[in-house]
A and B are shown apart, each in its own frame.
Chain A
């Protein structure tokens, strides 16, 4: 089945540690996105990529980094500079670069030890 796979489902980060969240899609979509979701808030865009080897900052990119070396993969690294990383992270993709319809993965819950 085609879809978006995020792993792991749960992740714990120690103080000062960088952690990487995986996002893989087999939908052959051009664009991919990372959103952060906090309780009682809507989703906020961290980074997005419209084509391989190119990506743009969203509204809350500080403390995060991404890469897009392959069309199907868009990993997100939460760096030690992100002082409040506990949140639910959602990866999404869209068929066109305009993002008309987003397909979402099932998310990764990141918590700080």
Chain B
């Protein structure tokens, strides 16, 4: 069965520091992968997605993610974190034949220290 694991429940970084949020997936075929961000009490917003092609994908707000098939990973990165990046981040995987059933990880809550 498909699954998504986000190993880090909470991460704290200083403003201006680099960030990497980990995501590992379990899926037999080529996965379709997503990163979403959620501010407190709000809905989710799509940061970026990977379907095929270049394994390094660029998203909104200066985020990028790299698909590594050999490691079954799709880690999210940002070179310099801003205080406004504090939020919860969700990795998700979908069936290649249909994205209706997204499977979400448990999320990583990011805190940013000034």
Contact B42 A106 (CB under 8 A): yes
Helix, strand, loop or mixed for chain B's interface?
Answer: strand
Partner of B100, one of A41, A42, A48, A107: A48
Pick from A12-20, A68-76, A79-87, A94-102 the stretch touching chain B: A94-102
In angstroms, Cα B9 to Cα A32, docked, is 29
Contact A42 B90 (CB under 8 A): yes
Contact A98 to B104, CB < 8 A, known contacts A106-B42, A106-B43, A107-B42: no
Q: Is A64 an interface residue (CB 8 A)?
A: no
* Contact surface of B with A, Cβ cutoff 8 Å: 4, 9, 36, 41-46, 49, 90, 92, 94, 98-107
User: Can you spell out 27 A-B residue pairs with CB atoms less than 8 angstroms apart?
Assistant: A40-B106, A40-B107, A41-B106, A42-B103, A42-B105, A42-B106, A42-B107, A43-B44, A43-B90, A43-B102, A50-B100, A90-B43, A92-B44, A98-B99, A99-B94, A99-B99, A99-B102, A100-B49, A100-B99, A101-B49, A102-B36, A102-B46, A102-B102, A104-B45, A106-B42, A107-B41, A107-B42
